[in-house]
Amino acid sequence: MPITLLDGILVGFTLVSAMLAMVRGFSREVLSVVSWAAAAAAAFFFYKPVLPYVQPYVENDKIAMAASAGVVFIIALIVVSVITMKLADWIIDSRIGALDRTLGFLYGAARGILVVAVALLFFNWLAGAKAPAWIANAKSRPLLETIGAKLESVLPENTEELVNKYTHKGAPQAGAPATGDQPAAEPPAGDDNAPAPDDSEGDAPADNEPAPATPAPAPAPAPAPAPAN
């Protein structure tokens, strides 16, 4: 079976990653990951104090939240990176510098293989069964797919539900009224068996009743007879 483009990408990417990690050292690589993780944690927990300063300039709440988290992330990454770089330089210049570079080479090689395996996992998910020949016939395909399957098995089964939950957090659910737009309470339905109100009660006559007849005037009394002479 000939070597395909996927095999060449794997070898080249792995060597470049291994050489860079060897030059930087294992301690610097690990501390770099720690710096990014610490910056992400700082952005997640401390974006709320920055949010009031961003909201006057950004009307959209989600964009304002993202901008606040981004500002905290960048500041935290710079501060933590300065500290970790000083610590990594001290380790490389010490007696264990050679061991640190050797471990860095191994770490970089493993990182390169892992990145290509994840990339192939996403490519297979997008392309489905229609994989090109340079992937289907690659010698490294079984190894990469095995690594991808192990990574996929580590993830929780409801990963998609969790992503949707945190992405749409705070949004009203389908069919639910938005906050502040609660509909007015409907009056309770009347009882069909309740007796109808008596029209005879009350002072005002009904509109459809005829007006009472006006009484006729009383006849005038007859004149008294004149007395005889």
Q: Residue range 101-120: average pLDDT? A: 93
Q: Token digits for 32?
A: 């770099």
Angle at which helices 26-45 and 61-92 cross, to 10° = 150
Question: What does pLDDT average to over the chain?
Answer: 78
* Torsion-angle region of 88 (φ positive above 0: left; ψ -120 to 50: alpha; else: beta): alpha
In sign, the C-alpha dihedral spanning 109, 110, 115, 116 is positive
pLDDT in the model for residue 188: 52
Q: Indicate whether 28 pLDDT > 50.
A: yes
Q: Which of 45-54, 118-127, 143-152, 168-177 has the lowest mean pLDDT?
A: 168-177
pLDDT in the model for residue 162: 64
Q: How confident is the model at residue 4 (pLDDT cuts 50, 70, 90)?
A: confident
Contact 25, 104 (CB under 8 A): yes
pLDDT in the model for residue 137: 85
Contact 76, 55 (CB under 8 A): no
Q: How many CB atoms lie within 10 A of CB 79?
A: 14
115 CB contacts (<8 Å, ≥6 apart)?
13, 17
pLDDT in the model for residue 204: 46
CA-based nearest residue to 168, from 62, 89, 45, 58: 62
Q: Tell me the whole-structure pTM to 2 decimals.
A: 0.57
Q: Token digits for 227?
A: 């007395």
pLDDT in the model for residue 170: 46
E-strand spans in 155-200? Answer: none
CA of 179: how far to CAs of 72, 90, 187, in Å?
Answer: 29, 56, 22
pLDDT in the model for residue 133: 85
pLDDT in the model for residue 181: 46
